[in-house]
Structure 1
Amino acid sequence: MKHDLIDELQAQIDTLWAKAELGEAITLSRVRLDDGSTHVEIVAGRLDIVGTERGRETMRKASLSLTEASHFYLFDMAVWHAQQRELRERKPPENAPLIRNGATDDGYSRWNWMAPAIETMGRIDPDLGDWAMRYYSKAIRNSQLSDYEKRNAKWPLPPML
């Protein structure tokens, strides 16, 4: 059986994801499923990650190296696992004031999935953990954590946030 760049990408993802100790890595798709998921294409010796839904292309990360493509999928898996954990562990705080829109505080904080995703990326490779921290720091600078998100944070907030 002939191996190609997508096989190499799958092998690299499998090897690196094993360091996360969170189960099996995703299996890459080579064909569009049109369900919102991504598939991988080889275009001119580089990798394109393409998202499609209902017959339309919704996202394309074009001309990626093996490393860039693996980092995309590793981060996606780290975030997915972190968000699942946040949902399992979320608990409404006792006697919390209503949040700004008048809704009841359900205990949500973006930081409760961002921090574990950063930690997972750091287990895979310290440089990836640093990258994830910079990525989320920028996101939070652009969209500050609300008071209830700060109050509900189960992970220590870094000084810059």
Structure 2
Amino acid sequence: MNTELSRLAAELGLNDPGHASLRLAFGLACADRIGHLLEDPRAIEGLSVAHAVLDGKADEAALTAARAELAAVANGHRGSNSIDGSAHAAVSATYAVANALAGRALEAASYAAYAAVYAYGGYAITDPTAFEDEFAWQVQTLETLAQPHASSAGPAQRVPSPSRRSSHTL
């Protein structure tokens, strides 16, 4: 659990009804960061729908439909018996997207962190230090998205999409 992120979320009142767009933007930022681990095209499309909503190019009905689709996709993910953790990373990444679309930002962040660490290999999740970089990034990202002066840019423009960064590392 990312205790610093939980503290910041409580301080910001992240779960307040008026912060729905912040929850979506933060959950989406976390999901984007591990988007390369997604296997199901419907999960990838879910990210696109969320971006479109934040950019004002899709409405709440599109988000509601994507939310329902992603809940089914995540719950139906086949998983893996593989010891390398790659399929576990894909499952966690899919749950990150589903939670982001559902407005459950902290849950999306948690699944995204697990996806990132599983991508190293299944063994890595037993090492708490394996989560440190991801947890720090999450706190910094939520702080950036929550800045009052950032609100004029629109949520989708506040933090560069990790999938478009050339120096993305985990």
Fold agreement, TM-score > 0.5: no
Q: Which has the higher strand share?
A: 1
Taking structure 1 as the reference length, the TM-score comes to 0.31
Q: Which has the higher helix share?
A: 2
Answer 1 or 2: higher relative contact order, Cα 8 Å, separation at least 6: 2
Taking structure 2 as the reference length, the TM-score comes to 0.29
User: For the pair shown, which has the larger CA radius of gyration, 1 or 2?
Assistant: 1
